[in-house]
Amino acid sequence: MKITVYGAGAWGTALAIAYAPDHDVVMWGRDADALALCERNRVNQALLPDRPFPAALRLEADLAKAAAHAELHLIVTPVAGLRAICEHLASTGNAMPVLWACKGFESGTGLLPHEVVADTLGETHPCGALTGPSFAAEVAAGQPTAITLAARDLAQATLWADALHRPRLRLYANDDLIGAEIGGAIKNVMAIAAGVSDGLGFGLNSRAALVTRGLAEISRLGLALGARQETFMGLAGLGDLVLTCTGDLSRNRRVGLMLAEGKPLAQILKELGHVAEGVLTTRETVARAQRHAVDMPLAQAVDDLLSGRMSAAEAVNDLLARSPKIE
């Protein structure tokens, strides 16, 4: 299959490395100079320095040429870059299926990725989400990983999952697209909260409570938006949440750890050097929860912390002061 991977960040590079041995893969990146450096070195030195590119992997800085190559578009930019690529595909009349591996809400509109795709390419365009517990470095290293491929049409999801399934990158088809996207988006918010908890030294009991109550908040909003409960018990829900809240490779957890140190958000993002989707997703999560009258105290606390309305200690004290609830 001819696959174009859009996005030469860590995750885009990892997926291109994973699929190039079995498919005709082209990787596009918006930074032509950075892409040229990757081409010269045949490695993404900045993000995955220990993972050389397969010989078959080709790099392309021209978006039109990259798009024309594809029988399957795999968009692995941050959510902020999804609309522009879909608009380009729409302008050329490109009808090939679109998958995305970005997680979150579009800033400003509050749209989930599938809503951005529908807004640009139309409601009937074949599309789906690649999501689940997956760190780029481990996928690039060929370490066993299991993720979800979700689409509204289960037959399409199964077809794409079969095509992209590899022995060490296992794909499970799912037709709850909203649930898969909600799980992938809001787990980043909860990972920031977990990082704060760990950074303040609250221990493993606190982390377990946070993950559990975080899953409850994710499920509440997901169900309000039309998702299915069982999705949140699977890879796209609990699996991704546990990995991101506990793994040392989690960017969003690192944001929380640095917030616990009292560092300002601007400094944290500069030091991080990568996109942490949870930072922008938090605001949109709280806005959606308010529109649907869904109680999400953990997400609200993270939003208060990121916006500077509360310190880490104040946000924790506010949560602990809540009255007892029935689980």
Candidates 3.90.180.10, 3.90.1200.10, 3.30.413.10, 1.10.1040.10; correct CATH number of 185-320? Answer: 1.10.1040.10
Look up 187 and say whether it is catalytic: yes
17-32 burial by CB neighbour count: b if 16+ within 10 A, else e? bbbbeebbbbbbbbee
Q: With left for phi above 0 and alpha for psi between -120 and 50, is residue 108 left, alpha or beta?
A: left
Cβ pair 260, 312 in contact under 8 A:
yes
Q: Half-sphere exposure (CA, 13 Å, Cβ side) for 238?
A: 10
Query: For residue 82, which of 96, 102, 97, 67 has the smallest C-alpha distance?
Result: 102
Tokens of 320: 């602990």
Amino acid at 142: G
Q: What is the side-by-side order of every strand in the sheet holding 169-174?
A: 58-60, 24-28, 2-6, 72-75, 98-100, 127-131, 145-150, 169-174
Structure confidence at residue 259 (pLDDT): 95
Query: For residue 192, which of 82, 70, 301 has the smallest C-alpha distance?
Result: 301
Q: Which residues are CB-contacts of 153 (< 8 A; sequence separation ≥ 6)?
A: 126, 175
Alpha helices in the chain (DSSP H): 10-19, 32-41, 63-69, 82-92, 113-121, 136-140, 154-164, 177-199, 203-224, 240-246, 251-260, 265-272, 277-291, 297-306, 312-320
pTM: 0.95
- From first to last of its 327 residues, the chain has per-residue pLDDT tens of 999 999 999 999 999 999 999 999 999 999 999 999 999 999 999 999 999 999 999 999 999 999 999 999 999 999 999 999 999 999 999 999 999 999 999 999 999 999 999 999 999 999 999 999 999 999 999 999 999 999 999 999 999 999 999 999 999 999 999 999 999 999 999 999 999 999 999 999 999 999 999 999 999 999 999 999 999 999 999 999 999 999 999 999 999 999 999 999 999 999 987 778 899 999 999 999 999 999 999 999 999 999 999 999 899 888 877 777 777
Q: What is the CA radius of gyration of the chain?
A: 19
Structure confidence at residue 218 (pLDDT): 98
Distance (Å, whole) CA 88 – CA 109: 19
Active-site position among 65, 103, 187, 263 = 187
Tokens of 25: 């893969």
Structure confidence at residue 272 (pLDDT): 87
Structure confidence at residue 321 (pLDDT): 77
Distance (Å, whole) CA 171 – CA 101: 13
Tokens of 250: 């989690």
SS3 289: helix
Distance (Å, whole) CA 168 – CA 183: 23
Domain positions in the chain: 2-175, 185-320
Distance (Å, whole) CA 61 – CA 317: 49
Q: Which residues are CB-contacts of 209 (< 8 A; sequence separation ≥ 6)?
A: none
Distance (Å, whole) CA 296 – CA 285: 9
310: DSSP letter: S
- φ, ψ for residue 104, nearest 5 deg: 145, -170
**Domain spanning 2-175, CATH architecture:** 3-Layer(aba) Sandwich (3.40)
Structure confidence at residue 229 (pLDDT): 98
